[in-house]
Structure 1
Amino acid sequence: MAAVPDEQTLLNGIADIARAAGQVVMAVYATDFAVRGKNDASPVTEADERAEQVITAGLERLAPGIPIVAEEAAAAGRVPEMGERFWLVDPLDGTKEFISRNGEFTVNIALIEHGAPVLGVVLAPALGKAGHLYAGSRAAGAWVDEGEGRQAIHCRAVPAEGLTVVASRSHGDAAALDAFLAGRRVASTTNAGSSLKLCLVARGAADLYPRLGRTMEWDIAAGHAVLAAAGGQVCDLQGSPLRYGKPGLDNPHFVASGLPADR
């Protein structure tokens, strides 16, 4: 097996791969693309499939030998033995946002080691002139590039007026969210699509993202890596850190927070 590149080389490499996949996604976005249903009734487009091919090929060149768990391959039953280190890939998170053409969809690549996301990239290719690219790792911290170079990002201390809570634009459960937030000081609630919700917490634009519905590991791993690098965390509702490589690859309900511990 070839030697694994150092963390910074990996992070820069997956940023380049995400941008290449983003170009493919945007090429499809500009067309009158078709939408199909998968076995679980979720939508899929040519953009999902073509972007996954670009990412898989890029990761195999960047770090040969690391298993790749990717959404569309997994949907077809192709899940490799994961071991202690593997990639998690969602080539187009927020397919519903892609179909509705609101721009809030992302390309997601994360490296998992011993059950934790150690580095990741989230690219929103339709936001701004050049897309918004979030990245983070243990060594490099977290940063965003919105077309004018990299800017470091950090979670913030909660303002005195209370929490800014971010919720899913397409998968919300208002009653469950209200029950979860009962007793907390909430200043405002906002909505966003895809893994951008985790990135809003990472950059200090929000404080809390409760997800009280089904998600898969590839949906959030890259955003989790960015948030962790920015000083935040993702925990289940019992307060335990969210882990990856679980049987079935589905997540429990969770809370992404900019706080050292959810309060």
Structure 2
Amino acid sequence: MLEKVCKLARYTGSVIMKFYNSQKSINISYKSDKTPITNVDREANNIIKEGLIQINPNFPIISEEESHNFDIYRFWKDYWLIDPLDGTKEFLKKNGEFTVNISLIKNGIPVLGVIYAPFSNILYSSFNNNAWKEIKPGVKEKISVSYSEKNTPLLITSRSHPDKELNNYLKKIKNYKLKKMGSSLKFCLIAEGTAQIYPRFGKTHIWDTAAGQAIVTAAGGTVKTWTGDDLNYSLSSCSSFINSGFCALSI
């Protein structure tokens, strides 16, 4: 199943790149939270939903790009969780830092994660406590977090979501390197050992984090809230799709 999901993510990414490289204008509107959504987001959403139904029709699907009814969803223990185009702002800025995110949640835990970066043509995936990086289809290497006390840790933060709490957090850390990046690529850098700390204080949703968390934890890292708890993907015990602040670590 993982291989099929990876192929679906790559195909979706190829469609996104056709829009990205096109001279045609992108249709942009805004959600209630003032974040942008485009015709590309919707096209990617339709492709992934159709593909996942063919892969396994037994799992329902929750997508960032659709409305959500908790009265129905709260009874789902196993479901697909997708962000068809994570980093729409970065897509519109044309800086290449956007991804296709697909995850499978079972009993409140992300057990499968796929993140594809169409611009760089790199795919990250995880299942059954193993994580991989694919430079091209069929050629993948196992990845794991890494850190040496001899080296200065690389701290990676959001490019589009600065906040005061993050600035206060950075003041408390004496020795670090800093890199800003968009989308779920931040999780991927933690998982492959390039970066060591990804702190997040601002608002995120479960579709922003599920695939990344699956990959980081499979690679040996952790993703915890600031109180040391796991992020909650169990719909029966939460009232919204909004996450608590968290920190992804390789150390």
Is the structural similarity TM-score above 0.5? yes
Match of 1:154 among 134, 137, 144: 144
Match of 2:245 among 236, 248, 253: 253
Number of the residue aligned with 1:212 = 201
Number of the residue aligned with 1:14 = 5
Unpaired runs of 5+ residues, structure 2, are none
Query: Residue type matched to 2:135 in 1?
Result: E
Measured at CA, do residues 162 and 178 of structure 1 come closer, stay the same or move farther in structure 2, by a change above 3 Å? farther
Contact 2:147–2:153 at 8 Å: present in 1 too? no
Per-residue displacement from partner, 1:157-207 (whole Å, max 9, x unpaired)?
24324321000011122x422322444343201111100000000000000
Number of the residue aligned with 1:5 = none
Partners in 2 of 1:154 and 1:171 — Cα distance? 27
Q: Does 1:95 align with 2:93?
A: no
* Equivalences for residues 16-31 of structure 1 within 5 A: 16-31=7-22
Number of the residue aligned with 2:178 = 189
* Equivalences for residues 198-209 of structure 1 within 5 A: 198-209=187-198
* Equivalences for residues 1-263 of structure 1 within 5 A: 10-31=1-22, 32-74=25-67, 77=68, 81=73, 83-127=76-120, 131-139=121-129, 141-147=130-136, 149-173=139-163, 175-244=164-233, 245=235, 246-259=238-251
Query: Residue type matched to 1:238 in 2?
Result: T
Alpha-carbon offset, residue 109 of structure 1:
0.2
Using the TM superposition, name which of 180-189 and 111-120 deviates more.
180-189
The TM-score, its normalising length taken from structure 1, stands at: 0.88
- Number of residue-to-residue matches in the alignment: 243
Query: Residue type matched to 2:48 in 1?
Result: I
Using the TM superposition, name which of 249-258 and 152-161 deviates more.
152-161
Aligned identity (percent) is 39
Per-residue displacement from partner, 1:64-96 (whole Å, max 9, x unpaired)?
12110001113xx46652521111100000000
Contact 2:8–2:48 at 8 Å: present in 1 too? yes
Partners in 2 of 1:113 and 1:161 — Cα distance? 37
Unpaired runs of 5+ residues, structure 1, are 1-9
Query: Residue type matched to 2:243 in 1?
Result: N
The TM-score, its normalising length taken from structure 2, stands at: 0.92
Q: Aligned-residue CA RMSD in angstroms?
A: 1.6
Per-residue displacement from partner, 1:32-64 (whole Å, max 9, x unpaired)?
212111222110111100011010011111111
